[in-house]
Amino acid sequence: MSDSEYWFCLTHHTVEGRDGCKNADRLGPYATEQEAARALETVAERNEAWDDDPKWNDDDSDSGDNPTGDTPAS
């Protein structure tokens, strides 16, 4: 781990270095303070992308349990 890694603390809503809160309460590591500061935005963007991904959309007639379309082994 490098000293130039940063985390976003979910408890305090601040960017922290390596010696911050426990990892269970943080997102990261990120390479820059700016990336860590955008952590919640990044999460929201990824969630939206995944929600809009037809391979993982549970609202279809296909349950999405088998996103590759492969036939499961019997």
Please name every residue paired with 16 in a beta bridge, in sequence order, or none if there are none. 7
Domain that holds residue 32: 6-52
Q: Is residue 22 part of a domain?
A: yes
DSSP sequence for 8-19:
EETTTTEEE-TT
Q: Is residue 62 part of a domain?
A: no
Q: How many domains does the chain have?
A: 1
Express each pLDDT in 8-41 by its tens digit.
Answer: 999 999 999 999 999 999 999 999 999 999 999 9
Please tell me whether residue 63 adopts helix, strand or coil conformation: coil
Q: Is residue 25 part of a domain?
A: yes
Q: Is residue 67 part of a domain?
A: no
- More confident position, 1 or 4: 4
pLDDT score, position 7: 98
Q: Is residue 58 part of a domain?
A: no
Q: Is residue 30 part of a domain?
A: yes
